[in-house]
């Protein structure tokens, strides 16, 4: 008998990466429309877990109204003689993977950002209770991670209870992250890699170092180490650092080698501490995006939870689309919030001295890690809602990027304003413009005659229709 014969829909790796559009969804659990959502794994004592128990606090799937979004929590409690608290983060990340094995059930993101959808098709096939989802998760967890001896799962849809447990979960995530602080990249010989998101972004591999937390913010270097130890064939693996080729940009021979192998040759070099050149790839479940703002030569940062419009007129979702997909895109960089607390944060680009804007909620979360001489010079949506206001704010406060403006050649600035990254072209690019073709830059019409432009890097972008959103 198959492991999932009593489940009304199919279960398998083949469903990973399946997207469920709004028009096809039965209900949405968590996601951007609700404030409180979480998933949490806790390691308990053997006697504290009732193996196989599935509890639902609040309405079950068949009691939820079609087409609506609901606050949601998943609490997975596990026990086993070899299980340690260090493994909680890694086990928790598997919820994403296993939920996505279920036909017509989509899981995105992690921790307090989870976003799930059930399709109408699967609901109509009979997937109308969390009990089925709980059974699938329990069986997959026990078969893939045999160190889990007992497992019980609680699904929460009662809004009050979700909020209460969400508050607790936030404290637990913070304690986990704090545990991983303090260790330096220079002090270890091994980093960890994670390829769990390759089902969504086939060329993406996270490189997790003590000072560069995974993009999803769910896996620290300690988590990576614990996972690689208990499940060596799993998606987390050790990376021998090898030779340090550039300590500022963060290039290591061992990392390049591992990434090349795991991305099947698509990515050959990675610079860990910069958003330019060969930046770390971004899958799709990063917690935040650092985006270059050419007009001020600085970075804006926006996190997934920010519902407004950023200072350059774009929302998180638009910026995330430009960033995701396992590509290396100059100036668009998927990051975790914990990485923003690291001394290596965008080190090669100037770190916090190059950050000019971020939502106030995010600033509040990381403010203790922003250098004291910069913290009041970084704008939020309360200080600047567009580029002009931002420029004024930065000048007024004497933000360190203002110094950079003076150094820049005027022509270079004008060209930057017209061009924004979509796909980097590396190597030498030669652009030949035939006689008489007019080019418009910064309001000037320039007619070139047999011009050849040589550049180390060309950044080319298709213009937006209607000119509403402009990068």
Kindly indicate which of the ranges 26-34, 211-219, 358-366, 419-427 contains the residues binding ligand SF4, using the contact rule CB under 6 A: 211-219
CA–CA separation, 309 and 21 (whole Å): 23
Angle in degrees, CA 388, 394, 396, rounded to 5: 100
Residue 218 touching ligand SF4 (CB under 6 A): yes
Among 75, 87, 114, 197, binds ligand SF4 (CB under 6 A): 197
- Give the distance, in angstroms, between the CA of residue 209 and the centroid of all CA atoms in the same chain: 16
Residue 148 touching ligand SF4 (CB under 6 A): no
Measured between alpha carbons, how far is residue 291 from residues 259, 328, 397, 440 in Å? Answer: 24, 13, 21, 25
Q: At its nearest, how many Å lie between ligand SF4 and the CB of residue 216?
A: 3
Q: At its nearest, how many Å lie between ligand SF4 and the CB of residue 218?
A: 6
Kindly indicate which of the ranges 42-50, 208-216, 269-277, 365-373 contains the residues binding ligand SF4, using the contact rule CB under 6 A: 208-216
Q: Which is nearer to ligand SF4, 45 or 233 (CB)?
A: 233
Q: Which two tokens stand for residue 41?
A: 């794994």
- Give the distance, in angstroms, between the CA of residue 427 and the centroid of all CA atoms in the same chain: 28
Q: SS3 for 135?
A: helix
Residue 314 touching ligand SF4 (CB under 6 A): no
Tokens 């992690």, located at residue: 110
Residue 145 touching ligand SF4 (CB under 6 A): no
Q: Which is nearer to ligand SF4, 54 or 95 (CB)?
A: 95
Q: Which is nearer to ligand SF4, 128 or 214 (CB)?
A: 214
CA–CA separation, 338 and 222 (whole Å): 14
CA–CA separation, 120 and 100 (whole Å): 16
Q: At its nearest, how many Å lie between ligand SF4 and the CB of residue 217?
A: 8
Q: Which is nearer to ligand SF4, 99 or 216 (CB)?
A: 216
Residue 219 touching ligand SF4 (CB under 6 A): yes
Encoded one letter per residue, x for contact with ligand SF4 by CB under 6 A and - for no contact, window 279-298 reads ----x-x-------------
Residue 196 touching ligand SF4 (CB under 6 A): yes
User: Are 134 and 95 spatial neighbours (Cβ–Cβ below 8 Å)?
Assistant: no
Q: Which is nearer to ligand SF4, 49 or 216 (CB)?
A: 216
Kindly tell me the sign of the dihedral angle through the C-alpha atoms of 246, 252, 257, 262. negative
Q: At its nearest, how many Å lie between ligand SF4 and the CB of residue 219?
A: 4
The residues in 41-100 that bind ligand SF4, with binding defined as CB under 6 A, are: 93
Q: Which two tokens stand for residue 174?
A: 């913070």
Burial 450-467 (b: 16+ CB within 10 A, else e): eeeeeeeebbeeeeeeee
Q: Which is nearer to ligand SF4, 218 or 302 (CB)?
A: 218
CA–CA separation, 91 and 230 (whole Å): 11
Residues that bind ligand SF4 (CB under 6 A): 93, 194, 196-197, 206, 214-216, 218-219, 283, 285
């Amino acid at each position: 008998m198959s492991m999932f014969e009593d489940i009304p829909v199919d279960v398998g790796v083949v469903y990973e990466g399946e997207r469920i559009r709004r028009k096809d969804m039965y209900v949405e659990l968590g996601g951007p429309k609700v404030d409180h959502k979480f998933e949490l794994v806790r390691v308990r004592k053997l006697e504290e877990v009732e193996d196989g128990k599935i509890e639902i606090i609040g309405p079950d799937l068949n009691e939820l109204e079609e087409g609506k979004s609901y606050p949601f929590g998943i609490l997975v409690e596990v026990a086993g003689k070899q299980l340690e608290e260090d493994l909680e983060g890694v086990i928790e990340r598997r919820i994403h993977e296993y939920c996505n094995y279920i036909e017509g059930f989509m899981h995105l993101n992690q921790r307090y950002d989870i976003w799930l959808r059930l399709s109408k098709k699967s609901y109509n096939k009979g997937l109308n209770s969390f009990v089925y989802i709980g059974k699938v998760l329990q069986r997959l967890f026990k078969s893939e991670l045999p160190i889990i001896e007992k497992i019980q799962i609680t699904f929460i849809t009662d809004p009050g209870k979700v909020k209460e447990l969400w508050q607790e979960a936030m404290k637990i995530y913070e304690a986990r992250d704090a545990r991983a602080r303090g260790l330096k990249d220079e002090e270890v010989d091994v980093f960890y890699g994670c390829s769990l998101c390759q089902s969504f972004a086939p060329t993406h591999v996270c490189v997790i170092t003590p000072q560069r937390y995974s993009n999803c913010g769910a896996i620290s270097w300690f988590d990576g180490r614990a996972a690689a130890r208990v499940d060596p064939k799993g998606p987390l693996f050790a990376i021998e650092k090898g030779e340090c080729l550039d300590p500022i940009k963060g290039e290591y021979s061992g990392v390049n080698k591992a990434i090349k192998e795991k991305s099947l040759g698509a990515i050959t070099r990675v610079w860990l501490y910069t958003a330019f050149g060969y930046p770390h790839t971004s899958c799709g479940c990063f917690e935040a995006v650092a985006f270059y703002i050419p007009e001020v030569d600085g970075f804006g940062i926006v996190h997934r939870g920010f519902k407004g419009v950023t200072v350059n007129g774009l929302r998180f979702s638009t910026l995330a689309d430009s960033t995701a997909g396992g590509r290396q895109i100059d100036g668009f960089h998927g990051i975790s919030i914990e990485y923003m607390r690291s001394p290596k944060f965008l080190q090669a680009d100037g770190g916090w001295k190059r950050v000019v804007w971020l939502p106030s909620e995010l600033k509040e979360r990381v403010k203790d890690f922003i250098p004291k001489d910069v913290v009041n010079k970084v704008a939020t949506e309360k200080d600047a809602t567009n580029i002009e206001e931002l420029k004024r704010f930065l000048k007024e406060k004497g933000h360190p990027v203002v110094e950079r403006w003076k150094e820049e050649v005027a022509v270079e600035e004008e060209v930057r304003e017209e061009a924004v990254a979509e796909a980097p072209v590396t190597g030498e690019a030669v652009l030949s413009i035939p006689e008489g073709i007019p080019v418009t830059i910064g309001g000037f019409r320039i007619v070139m005659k047999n011009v050849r432009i040589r550049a180390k890097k060309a950044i080319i972008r298709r213009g937006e229709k209607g000119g509403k959103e402009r990068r």
